[in-house]
Amino acid sequence: MPAQATGETARDIAIGIVLTTLMMAVTLRSPIFGFFCTVLTPLPTLYYRIKLGRSLGALIPTLALGILITVIGHITLDLLYFLELLGIGFALGELFSLRLSVEKTVITVCTAILCTGVVFVYIYANFSGTGVVALVSEYVRQNLEATIALYDGMGMSQENVQVIKDTMDHIQYVLVRLIPGLTICSTLFVTWTTLLLARSLLLKRGLPYPDFGPLNRWEAPEQLVWGVIGCSLLLLLPSAPIRLVGINGLLVLMTIYFFQGIAIVSFFFQHKQLPKFFRFFLYSLVALQQIFLLLVIGIGFFDMWLNFRQRLIKKNGPQRPDNDSER
């Protein structure tokens, strides 16, 4: 291997390690910016897996996690969380070469990551001498306490902070029972977002990216509506465990319909050729305002009957060309 190529590879590895470590550190230390870093954390692993290959690509997340463990001084559930984020990036890089459909790619990655996570949580619980439920419950409580401290530091009124403290046990009780659905939703969301963000990054650098087709035309399978109906009916039953199954199922299904809804929004932006800064502003509203989030989910769910994109095409003519990464 030429010395120049070796030096470039070493530089890529160093940059990848620094970027990955920095994103994980920001996620740990800054809850406000942590959400955005969570979404971006898999990207360096995916990018360098494609650029450097399997062996050198795996070196980056491995060393980044090693640095984080060294700094923290012990293994925590947060490290498992980062392991899953980095695993998403690496798994996507592995599957890109197989030329699977976008549905199979996302399902395969999420299944592998979730199964790995369950195994690691079980192992960690055994080594720590606590049960899985107790371990997760304590982790949720620690994060709730950190959230309360953040609100207090941001100047929230003491009355509101005290209300949260008084209801923390109830909030913890609910969140622990929603962990399965929330974990699946977050894994789906990060995987889908990474897949979208990677397109522009890889193509601009001349690296291969699967031809998934225009993702702003993506539709959820029609059969999923029966899942929504079934989960909704479970909420009417008197058994609490069965109702929990229904709630967790609805969380996952609403995430899938969110993907369809945001695809419709993207299709509308592209069709109208809205400026990128305006698109970014509207996407930010969806991310930050719950009412817009629910609106996008509703658009995705009712699209099966109303077919918004086809109506837009009939009203305004064929879709206009757009080189944006949303396609």
Domain check: are 205 and 218 in the same one?
Answer: no
Task: Answer with the one of 213, 230, 264 that is the final residue of a domain.
Answer: 213
Domain check: are 281 and 202 in the same one?
Answer: no
pLDDT of residue 172: 87
Is 155 a domain residue?
Answer: no
pLDDT of residue 189: 94
Domain check: are 199 and 271 in the same one?
Answer: no
Tokens for 152? 């207090």
Domain check: are 2 and 120 in the same one?
Answer: yes
Domain check: are 113 and 195 in the same one?
Answer: yes
Domain check: are 124 and 233 in the same one?
Answer: no
169 class by beta-carbon count within 10 Å (0-12 exposed, 13-18 middle, 19+ buried): exposed
219, 326, 217: which is closest to 276 by C-alpha? 326
Domain check: are 209 and 270 in the same one?
Answer: no
pLDDT of residue 3: 47
- What is the count of structural domains for the chain? 2
Domain check: are 291 and 203 in the same one?
Answer: no
pLDDT of residue 285: 81
Q: Phi and psi for 60 in degrees, rounded to 5?
A: -65, -55
Is 312 a domain residue?
Answer: yes
Domain check: are 32 and 76 in the same one?
Answer: yes
Total Cβ atoms within 10 A of residue 134? 13
Q: What's the CA dihedral at 319, 320, 324, 327 to 10 degrees?
A: 20
pLDDT of residue 202: 93
Is 115 a domain residue?
Answer: yes
Local confidence pLDDT in tens for the 327 residues of the chain: 444 557 788 899 999 999 999 999 888 877 667 777 888 999 999 999 999 999 999 999 999 999 988 888 777 788 888 999 999 999 999 999 888 899 999 999 999 999 999 998 888 888 888 888 888 888 888 888 877 877 777 777 777 778 888 888 888 888 889 999 999 999 999 999 999 999 989 999 999 999 888 888 899 998 999 999 999 999 999 888 899 999 999 999 999 999 999 999 999 888 888 888 888 888 888 877 788 889 999 999 999 898 888 888 877 665 555 544 444
Is 176 a domain residue?
Answer: no
Is 87 a domain residue?
Answer: yes
Query: Distance from CA of residue 74 to its chain's centroid?
Result: 26
Is 327 a domain residue?
Answer: no
Is 90 a domain residue?
Answer: yes
Question: Residue 309 belongs to what domain range?
Answer: 214-321
Is 67 a domain residue?
Answer: yes
Q: Where are the alpha helices (DSSP H) in the chain?
A: 3-29, 31-40, 42-52, 54-72, 77-96, 102-128, 132-153, 158-166, 168-204, 224-234, 240-272, 276-288, 290-306, 308-316
- Say how far apart CA 79 and CA 84 lie, in whole Å: 9
Q: pTM of the prediction?
A: 0.88
pLDDT tens digits for 271-327?
Answer: 888 888 888 888 888 877 788 889 999 999 999 898 888 888 877 665 555 544 444
Domain check: are 72 and 198 in the same one?
Answer: yes
